[in-house]
Amino acid sequence: MSDYVTPKSKIAYPIQHHCSLLALSSPYRALINQILVVYEPQFYHQAAPYPEWRQAMNEEIKALEANSTWTLVPLPPDKHCIGCSWMYKVKYKMDGSVDRYKAHWLPKDILNKMESISLILFL
């Protein structure tokens, strides 16, 4: 499988190898090309090497702390810890340029519910 990964983009199957953008208008084609170039990781280990994603994660943690989202307390002996996961998204301006990198820190239970809801909506 590693032979399908392009060294520049690190995307396994770039969409531009499978469909043509020639039928699109020039401004829309430029927007699509910009979106295809920007990398959206799915997992922490994919995001960690990139400074823009590390900054987005730091901003998310600072925002959660500033909003007093949680309080650190000892875990009761009869309870178990819930795992967490990062969700990454690139926000674009109207002209197609990158506005900001957004990282969300979510408990895994919420992430699973969101995936099941999106499956219901798109089926």
Same domain, 33 and 44: no
Weakly modelled stretches of the chain, pLDDT under 50: 1-6, 118-123
- Asked if the structure places residue 8 within a domain, the reply is yes
Q: Is 96 left (phi over 0), alpha (psi -120 to 50) or beta?
A: left
Same domain, 28 and 59: no
Domain encompassing residue 14: 1-37
- Asked if the structure places residue 27 within a domain, the reply is yes
Query: Which residue has tokens 């506005």?
Result: 99
- Asked if the structure places residue 32 within a domain, the reply is yes
Q: What is the pLDDT of residue 3?
A: 47
**Structural domains of the chain, count:** 2
Say what the pTM is.
Answer: 0.61
Same domain, 121 and 95: yes
Same domain, 55 and 104: yes
Question: Residue 50: which residues within 8 A CB-CB, separation 6 or more?
Answer: 39, 41
